[in-house]
Amino acid sequence: MEDERIAYNAAIEALRLREYPMLQDTTYLDHAGTTLYAKSLIERFSADMIGNLYGNPHSASNSSQLTTRRIEDVRLRLLALFKADPDDFDVVFVANATAGIKLVTEVFRDQEEGYWYGYHRDAHTSLIGARETATQHRCFTTDAEVNAWVEEDGTASPRLGLFAYPAQSNMNGRRLPLDWTRHIRTRKQGSVYTLLDAAALVSTSPLDLSDANSAPDFTVMSLYKIFGFPDLGALIIRKAAGSVFDRRRYFGGGTVEMVVCLKEQWHAKKETLHERLEDGTLPIHSIMALDTAMSVHKELYNSLDEVSNHTAFLASKLYDGLTSLRHGNGTSVCHVYKDASSTYGDPSTQGPIVAFNLRNHCSGWVSNAEVEKLAAVRNLQLRTGGLCNPGGVASSLDLAPWEMKENFSAGQRCGNDNDIIRAKPTGMIRVSLGAMSTLKDVTLFVDFLSEFFVEDTPPLLVPPVVSLDMKPPTHSRLHVESLSVYPIKSCGAFGVPPGVAWGVRREGLAWDREWCLVHQGTGAALSQKRYPKMALIRPSIDLEAGVLRVQLTGLLRYSTFANEVTVPLSADPSLFAKDSMYKDGSAQVCGDQIQAKTYRSPQISAFFSQALGVACHLARFPAVGNGSGPLACVRHSKPHLQKSQRSSKMRVPGAFPETRPLMPGMTVSKPILLSNESPILTISRSSLNRLNEQIKAEGGKAAQSEVFRANIVVAENPHYPPGAEQPYAEDEWRYLQIGQQYFELLGPCRRCQMICVDQQTAERNQEPFVTLSKTRRFDGRVYFGEHTSHLARDSPYPLAQEAAIMVGDTVRTYFEDEACYDDVLHALIS
């Protein structure tokens, strides 16, 4: 048995090299999202399109007849794939499974008395949404509830009923009983119809509709989940149930024989179900591609049974691999959400999907946003979050409705970083396999988890040591190595020239992230995470000429006619478009939406759009408002003022107790309300050196300081004795004095894979994120650098000289203890 499977796996390995070139150098584990198409399929489809002339069906020309004939053949072929007799079944082509569900539930909605809708907890959102069209609805939270309801005799409700469920959960791959459809038909005496969502099931499993009496009335599926291509769905209707569609009100395109619309309103519907339900022109080319897809699938895999056996085998290996991972102290790493009724390796109860969350060695949950970032760096494609399966996820994670609503109010959304709330995960990780998955994918994934998430205890992280005897002379051992600003958010850095005193303001270094680029369609700010080439856009601040000068480097050099654009530093209102485009929900402060103003010049937009290959505008943030009084809400305009990770007691690096009010009547520039916003990012050269030693020890490529996009790089004085560097000493710093200015450290900066974008070439690397995540991960989060904010004396003279710092300034550090704190206080008051 096992030998046979291993031989089959070897055959798939060989086939994959040939047929799936897009899988080179990547590990694709999201087949439940969509599987991949074979090279032969695309080549053959393309040859078919080039070699034949296909017209719009419904006419007498040869090209039209050819299309009609081919489509009728494909219908039969698709029915045959599921052993559905064309005497008993018809197939309706739809855009996707959801469109099939809509078509069915809309005709139920159109019944005069309305309808009763029942659905299973494991349903995909596509099925759940239908309840909004029903007169009455019920969510069945267990299989037992369904069984009990089925056993109830007769037609309790005067209304027509529809019971819908997934043949396989798209969340954890559990396969639900297929015989419910038969039981419901017999027990409910035809008053309740059945809708089977087979989208997840048939992607890796056969479905047998040969017994029309026990088959679902309506079966929907997404064909791209079986073949990778075309983007097409199907609704298979049991003809005996077809009469419900007599009530369908809409008609359009080729669905009618004759329409009278001038003096009388009358139409005659077409005869067959599919003719009546396929509104408008069919996706003819997709349907032909389906023909080719079925041929190629058969040649490569022979049958869905073979796919089912192979993927079941892989899934059991994956499940065993995940459940056997243990931390050094013996606690398990993966918490798998498996239904008690299912068994990995048994295709009748379980499909090839594993849903799980990770725990650290203290059994705390690991943030999935962190897992995603590492997976992205390692080129692993998987899915995290709510997985479009709210019932399954809520019951697995034991989330009550009030918790979900509160989490929603607290800002949790499908796909954001905020995924552990009140020490509970709000989503999960899903790994799913398909026909062309192999044992190698499974091993690679298990190894990935063991590399990054299995912790030897005590944790691999050594808390930074600051030896006490070093303390007194340390105060002047540091200096400012460099100062950088990023005039356009996410674009290249502008290095402050040595000898220039650079302004420090409430909202950060002068001109830092004063501008951004916004997408013309969505109005969202662009970032390097999605557009790494932004690193090659180099803004500089020319104070003498009074302009922001933007140049292009590297690859972008010849991407546009102009080599450079300039924008005045003055915010002349006539430069801006009337309606500002950019709205950033995450930049909400005190309930206010913050908006940036877009430049109206088409030349400027064209310059950036051509450089990046994405339609965008340049935009500028409005000037910062003035706070009045110590607790006034100051409208910080810039979205980079991020929340830092500050919480008292927790000894993650740099996590300090809450700010204490300094003295009665005294205010700092940073009001308490906004105290955890970070206008400046500081990194330490010694820490970077340590990190690079670790990277090089593993044979990796050292990281440039630019990737961290710091504003201030603090370094040890060169004449200080060598070997006395103190990497990560910043974890213990509380305040900094730079030149004549004071700064407070707010907490460590959480990192993502954006630090892997080489700022010279815009290429993505694995480092430094991989090493950082092994050496600087606390509580599932990866930290490097410190959020910093300027502490200003409140000057009664508005024209007082602006606070400034320069490259080469001496840096003094203050640790978290009373004496030092009083020093700062003293300095600020005096």
CB burial string 503-542: b at 16+ within 10 A, e below: ebbbbbbbbbbbbbbbbeeebbbbebeebbbbbbbbbbbe
Nearer to ligand PLP, 124 or 188 (CB): 124
Interface residue with ligand PLP, options 102, 121, 124, 790 (CB under 6 A)? 124
- Asked whether the beta carbons of 318 and 356 are under 8 A apart, the reply is no
Among the listed ranges 196-204, 367-375, 587-595, 645-653, the one in contact with ligand PLP (CB under 6 A) is 196-204
Nearer to ligand PLP, 67 or 204 (CB): 204
Taking the complex as a whole, the smallest distance from the CB of residue 199 to ligand PLP amounts, in Å, to 4
Among the listed ranges 104-112, 195-203, 243-251, 450-458, the one in contact with ligand PLP (CB under 6 A) is 195-203
Q: Does 528 bind ligand PLP (CB under 6 A)?
A: no
Nearest to 567 by CA among 488, 483, 496: 488
Q: Does 667 bind ligand PLP (CB under 6 A)?
A: no
Q: Does 200 bind ligand PLP (CB under 6 A)?
A: yes
Q: Does 222 bind ligand PLP (CB under 6 A)?
A: yes
Give dist(CA 80, CA 497) in Å, integer. 73
Taking the complex as a whole, the smallest distance from the CB of residue 223 to ligand PLP amounts, in Å, to 9
CA angle 399, 324, 779 (to 5 degrees): 55
Q: Does 199 bind ligand PLP (CB under 6 A)?
A: yes
Give dist(CA 394, CA 411) in Å, integer. 17
Taking the complex as a whole, the smallest distance from the CB of residue 33 to ligand PLP amounts, in Å, to 8
Nearer to ligand PLP, 64 or 133 (CB): 133
Q: What is the DSSP letter of 563?
A: S
Q: Looking at 139, 334, 362, 388, which residue is catalytic?
A: 388
CB burial string 99-133: b at 16+ within 10 A, e below: bbbbbbbebbbbeeeebbbbbbbbbbebbbebbeb
Strands lying side by side in the sheet with 616-620: 515-519, 616-620, 592-598, 582-589
Q: Does 97 bind ligand PLP (CB under 6 A)?
A: yes
Among the listed ranges 96-104, 240-248, 368-376, 703-711, the one in contact with ligand PLP (CB under 6 A) is 96-104
Q: Does 430 bind ligand PLP (CB under 6 A)?
A: no
Q: Does 98 bind ligand PLP (CB under 6 A)?
A: yes
Taking the complex as a whole, the smallest distance from the CB of residue 15 to ligand PLP amounts, in Å, to 25
Nearer to ligand PLP, 203 or 412 (CB): 203
Structure tokens at 499: 């000898």
- Burial bucket for residue 292 (CB in 10 Å: 0-12, 13-18, 19+): buried
Interface residue with ligand PLP, options 126, 357, 667, 687 (CB under 6 A)? 126
- Asked whether the beta carbons of 619 and 517 are under 8 A apart, the reply is yes
- Asked whether the beta carbons of 391 and 121 are under 8 A apart, the reply is yes
Nearer to ligand PLP, 304 or 496 (CB): 304
Taking the complex as a whole, the smallest distance from the CB of residue 314 to ligand PLP amounts, in Å, to 18
- Asked whether the beta carbons of 487 and 551 are under 8 A apart, the reply is no
Q: Which residues contact 577 (CB under 8 A, 6 or more apart)?
A: 597, 598, 599, 600, 617
Nearer to ligand PLP, 222 or 482 (CB): 222
Nearer to ligand PLP, 197 or 732 (CB): 197
Give dist(CA 131, CA 134) in Å, integer. 5
Taking the complex as a whole, the smallest distance from the CB of residue 194 to ligand PLP amounts, in Å, to 15
Alpha carbon dihedral 27, 29, 30, 36, in 10-degree steps, equals 60
Taking the complex as a whole, the smallest distance from the CB of residue 101 to ligand PLP amounts, in Å, to 8
Taking the complex as a whole, the smallest distance from the CB of residue 222 to ligand PLP amounts, in Å, to 3
- Burial bucket for residue 698 (CB in 10 Å: 0-12, 13-18, 19+): exposed
DSSP 65-88: HHHHHHHHHHHHHHHHHTT--TTT
Q: Annotated catalytic, 752?
A: no
Q: Does 404 bind ligand PLP (CB under 6 A)?
A: no
Taking the complex as a whole, the smallest distance from the CB of residue 27 to ligand PLP amounts, in Å, to 21
Nearer to ligand PLP, 126 or 308 (CB): 126
Query: Which of the residues 227 through 286 are near ligand PLP (CB under 6 A)?
Result: 233
Mapping DSSP to helix (H, G, I), strand (E, B) and coil, where does residue 584 land? strand
Binders of ligand PLP: how many residues, by CB under 6 A? 12
Query: Which of the residues 148 through 177 are near ligand PLP (CB under 6 A)?
Result: 166, 170
Interface residue with ligand PLP, options 19, 197, 584, 786 (CB under 6 A)? 197
Provide the residue count of the chain.
Answer: 830
Q: Which residues contact 102 (CB under 8 A, 6 or more apart)?
A: 130
Q: Name the residues annotated as catalytic.
A: 388
Residues that bind ligand PLP (CB under 6 A): 96-98, 124, 126, 166, 170, 197, 199-200, 222, 233
